[in-house]
Chain A
């Protein structure tokens, strides 16, 4: 409650970034379209071909990036809240990042050697290519659930930060709350793997870094992480489409950019920072 002014500039900055990136995202694609054409078909139907490119391909893709960023940020924040930075040093998570790095390396070798990635490999890696309205509706349901739960439980997550004993003496049923939140974050993660591919969970690391800037008060951390997640994923998607017009799966880009951050987070933890 006190000093929302601190978080407000950061949040508004992120919103502006998202708006700019959104317009940019709509402009990029295999069919070269001028900004004027894109915007005119966005708001009124002109050329039916352009209209369908915008509304059946580009807008869904943009929305899927945003929803994906939001869900990954909520799941990451919840994991961070119930397990602290221990979460990232967990055996399963280390294995997951290791495996993702290996898959990324294989995919990169295949791409540079000129072989075409087949479509099932795409699905495994995680791609926002082929976003449909159905997919957006389905993922949005998870995003809305995620936002709801994170609002309802931000108080519990905050109490948990102060240690198990303090949380208990504040009236929190610690084990039960942890179990509920863990199950929920797991559901969000599984949904993301299902809809966006296996590599997409590498984005769980985003809230870890947002925390360093926005602090760990979950009332702020979750919304700021959601905005950051949306902005980061959108940016990476645009980046990948500009650099590799032949559709490099977003999972690979995320892994290349966020993987080193994961290693940094692990090292930082080991060094006790």
Chain B
């Protein structure tokens, strides 16, 4: 059974429908980039997948199970979410912040076990932040904190990782670091992230989901999604797409 199946999804805030009749399926090993112009519903779609906002029609199913029918705690064991602006909180160290990812597994009447600490440690190592493990999160650079936020999501041990603009607010070097890391996590996760930058999305994602006004324009491999025709329809300006003959990667130009 597919990891994630979205069927005729309408969602939004209260009566304000933003995402309209959206359908797609995704599986472990996919790294999907959600792209589209400002206000097209990228973040709303991601939040709907995370169960954060109300699904008005249709369904989001994780391994066949509709997330509307299970508790928030059960969702938290299946889907982790890294918001665009997770605010570092004074008084928390890197380790304590990552350990927060174990919250869904710790019962009301129990405390973190050695296992929880081990899993948090592993996430910390995977994100290569072990050198700052005891640092207060308020003293980290943007790139460091973003890695800590992702480690927190990894500690949740979910198969699905959702990230809202994981590379915004980061300088180029850190953007590439985070993206390479996400690409390496793809093997045993389904990763879905929103991106503002088309070139970055085309370069690192295996699949793209192009949104416009809450509707899916195209979904699939970057070459099939970023056609001159699709981009003109969405961005209302002429954009040229060229493929680098050596790497096979796409580049989008304003031409």
Contact = CB atoms under 8 A, between A and B. Distances in A.
Given A214-B91, A216-B89, A170 B76 contact: yes
B96 interface: yes
Interface string B116-128: 0100000000000
Given A1-B99, A2-B93, A171-B76, A163 B87 contact: yes
A170 B82 CA distance: 11
Interface in B46-101: 47, 50-52, 71-77, 79-81, 83, 86-87, 89-93, 95-96, 99-101
Contacts of A38: none
Contacts of B101: 170
Nearest to A213: B91
Contact-residue size bin, chain A (C-beta under 8 Å from the other chain): 20 to 34
A230 to B, nearest CB: 21
B47 A1 contact: no
A152 B117 CA distance: 19
Given A1-B112, A163-B86, A165-B81, A170 B104 contact: yes
Contacts of B76: 169-171
A142 B79 CA distance: 38
B255 to A, nearest CB: 39
Contacts of B51: 168-169
A215 interface: yes
Nearest to B79: A169
Contacts of B117: 1
Given A162-B100, A211-B91, A171 B83 contact: no
B92 A215 contact: yes
Contacts of A163: 83, 86-87
B134 interface: yes
A155 B89 CA distance: 14
A171 B87 CA distance: 18
A101 interface: no
A169 B81 contact: yes
A159 B100 CA distance: 7
Contact of A158 (B74, B80, B100): B100
A161 interface: yes
A165 B83 contact: yes
B108 interface: yes
B87 A152 contact: no
B52 A165 contact: yes
A152 B109 CA distance: 6
B47 A165 contact: yes
A3 interface: yes
A1 B106 CA distance: 15
B8 interface: no
A169 B103 CA distance: 10
A221 interface: yes
Contacts of B72: 168, 171-173
A255 to B, nearest CB: 28
A171 B75 contact: yes
A172 B81 CA distance: 13
Given A165-B47, A166-B86, A217 B96 contact: yes
Given A1-B95, A3-B93, A155 B103 contact: yes
Nearest to B50: A169
Contacts of A216: 89-92
Interface in A87-120: none
29 contacts: A1-B96, A1-B112, A155-B106, A159-B103, A162-B86, A162-B100, A163-B83, A163-B87, A166-B81, A168-B50, A169-B51, A169-B75, A169-B80, A169-B81, A170-B100, A170-B103, A171-B71, A171-B72, A171-B74, A171-B77, A173-B71, A211-B91, A214-B91, A215-B91, A215-B92, A216-B90, A216-B91, A216-B92, A221-B91
Given A1-B112, A3-B134, 9 more contacts: A1-B96, A162-B86, A163-B83, A163-B86, A163-B87, A165-B47, A165-B50, A169-B80, A221-B91
Q: Which 9 A-B pairs have the closest CB atoms?
A: A215-B91, A171-B76, A171-B104, A171-B73, A169-B81, A170-B103, A216-B91, A2-B95, A217-B91
